[in-house]
Amino acid sequence: MLSSKGLTVVDVYQGWCGPCKPVVSLFQKMRIEVGLDLLHFALAEADCLDVLERYRGRCEPTFLFYAIKDEALSDEDEHSSHEKDDGEDEDVVSAAKTCTLAIIKPDAVVHGKADEIIMKIQEAGFDILTDEERTLTEAEMRLFYDRTAGEEAFEKLVHHMCSGPSHLLILTRTEGVEDVVTAWRTLMGPCDPEVARREQPDSLRAQYGTEMPFNAVHGSQDREDASRELALLFPGFKFSDEVLEAPRGESNVQPRLRNTDLD
């Protein structure tokens, strides 16, 4: 990650207190404004890395900044020239970079695993555009899982998803050609944690899930589902053209999802 072009900001945190969450939204806004390729964020626990020994025991937020100066300046100049030519809106995410929804479910959050999962997501090459912690409402979840309302486990799933805070993430990828929706579903693993442990033991559901519906994470099934889910839970987030473009505070997409799994 430190070899990435542009600026990389590392939040060096202490294990007893966790990352500095109050500045996350500020960093996310800055990242959208300056460009996804030029600004990167990462988390690092000082107690787990010998190279960060000098930062252990500090009771104040600590951030390390890394930059490849010449390459970053060159890319920034090129980026600015493109902006002048095409006049694109800086707050709109390019359709060339598809996005998907990821949810770290209440069972993983209540056991203190959210930060570990977020770190694994970043290590796998995903960029987190937004990380919002909040408790989902029953109305949201009934609409979210609308297409599975007739299944036996539906009520249990809705109750679980509203039982405590979740982390709602918007993910994209800046490296490689693999579709972000497919890549995220691969990292999650099979819906059932028991199946995941047998077939994909390194997947997130294998490591952090217990049993259905407590499988730690959720991911959109395809691009259409991703657009609809994001429109429901992030109505103010703008995407360009074929991905999604919704006015702040409104949603033009009717979020009737095509989920076939209670995941």
Secondary structure of 61-115 as H, E, C letters: CEEEEEECHHHHHHHHHHHHHHHHHHCCCCCCECCCCCCEEEEECHHHHHCCCHH
Q: Active-site residue among 79, 159, 160, 218?
A: 218
**DSSP alpha helices (H): ranges in the chain?**
24-34, 69-86, 106-110, 114-123, 138-144, 154-161, 180-188, 193-199, 204-208, 223-233
Distance CA 231, CA 136 (A): 15
Burial of 241 (0-12, 13-18, 19+ CB in 10 A): exposed
Residue 37 DSSP symbol? T
> Catalytic: 218?
yes
C-alpha angle 68/70/76, rounded to 5°?
A: 90
CA dihedral 209, 167, 255, 173 (to 10 degrees): -90
Cβ partners under 8 Å of residue 114, min gap 6: 104, 108, 133, 167
Cβ partners under 8 Å of residue 197, min gap 6: 206
User: Strand, helix or coil at 201?
Assistant: coil
So which residues are the catalytic ones?
218
